[in-house]
A and B are shown apart, each in its own frame.
Chain A
Amino acid sequence: MEAQQTRAQQTEAHQTEAQQTQALARVPQAPAVGGEARSEPKTRGRSIVITSGKGGVGKTTTTANVGIALAARGARVVLVDADVGLRNLDLVLGLESRVRFHLLDVIEGTAPLDDALVRDKRVPTLWLLAAAQNREKDDVDTEAMCALIERLRERFDYVIVDSPAGIETGFKNAVAGADEAIVVCTPEVAAVRDVDRVVGLLGNRISVQLVVNRIRPALVRKGKMLSVEDVNSILRLPLLGVLGDAPDVIVATNRGEPVALDETAPIAAGYRAIAARIAGEDVAAPTADEPAGFFEKLGSLFGGRH
């Protein structure tokens, strides 16, 4: 009980600290811009963290594909890999060979931001800021991280942060500069419990939306898998998207070509729908039937090939 209390207090303290940092980061901009600020207001992009608590539910895949789908709509998007020590977002995006500097280089001032940002080959409005592979999560200073996110928000429409699994330092740093969160949950008891915990830690400052990933409608119909309704009857979050458990994702990750770019993959439509909803488009609200529909088609497709 005592340990939990301290943990809660720490989170609280951490969050207020984060808010203060954000406030501090904003202050110097106003006088620097001066009178021009009114005639030409500086746009401030949205900062969204993608998190889940549990590992292996598809945070990085979701980050890559939602990011690419948003960028394909013409938005300027930067993806920030906050999983320091376990860098993977570059691999999923197929940009691993072009990463020269990383997040910590920028935070510590060893490299300028422009040198660390990697531009995507396929979608020119998509950029990546990779994590450091040979460093630890504790090396990241929360305030500096917030300031960096703030800098990125001045240049991009969307700053999407891929959070590491867990609820420790790495998670806290990833969340610190975010105004919005997308929690990724698979229809498993462990994933649901962890998302519930993470949502509790995110508090009221951050607006949270849910993506249910790796749904297998055939199993749901047989009563062998939690349905989207089951998951969300427990979590009770605004539902942003529902994604099936598509083999295309595995193939795409193998190649480093995000599946959202594959027009023939049914799941790409799911990512595009999520991107459209994030952008505020009035796309039909996701239901459990949504993947069931195209999965039946997918099933018959595969069946036909056998």
Chain B
Amino acid sequence: MLEQVTEWFRNVFGAQSSSAVAKDRLRLVLLSDHLALAPDVIDALRRDLLDVISRYLEVDEAHSDVSFEHKEAGIAMLANIPILAMRPPEKIAESPADAQASAKSAGVDDDTGVLEAVHPNGRTDNYGRRPRRRRRRKSSGASQTAPAQ
């Protein structure tokens, strides 16, 4: 009885049940496991990121790096991409709506050029398997890199 009452209080005051804590911890640790096990996926992601960013900015590919870090709330993807120059506006992506959407989601920090996005606690289904690349535009930028298939 006492146990039920304390349980009720705990639930009312928003404390997580231990099973919910277990589930959250599992989600995080598995995401991190999968990321660690999928170096080629991360490499493909890095190349795709660079592809997209190169549409707007001239970046230093050789010194760019994508990594994942445990943060309090989840796992954060950290992309460190040195920017060399701005691309002239007339050379930026063909569709304005497309460009706007991409610019919004990219969220590049103006001062540091560091792009940061917290990854949702989703599951990567198969490690080691590369996601299919969706190419939205024909290769024209200097920084286009062909995926090693």
Contact = CB atoms under 8 A, between A and B. Distances in A.
A1 B41 CA distance: 13
B19 A193 contact: no
Nearest to B3: A222
A84 B100 CA distance: 61
Interface in A148-197: 188-189, 192-193, 196-197
Interface stretch (A40-48, A223-231, A284-292): A223-231
A217 to B, nearest CB: 12
Chain A binding site: helix, strand, loop or mixed by DSSP? helix
Chain B binding site: helix, strand, loop or mixed by DSSP? helix
B125 A224 contact: no
A189 B22 CA distance: 6
A26 interface: no
Contacts, number: 57
Interface stretch (B29-37, B55-63, B83-91, B106-114): B29-37
A101 to B, nearest CB: 40
Contacts of B19: 220, 223-227, 230
Given A196-B33, A200-B127, A189 B17 contact: no
Interface residues of B, number: 23
Contact of B26 (A189, A197, A200): A189
Interface string A235-276: 010000000000000000000000000000000000000000
B26 A4 contact: no
B37 A193 contact: no
A33 interface: no
Interface of B: 7, 11, 17-20, 22-23, 25-27, 29-30, 33-34, 36-37, 39, 123, 125-128
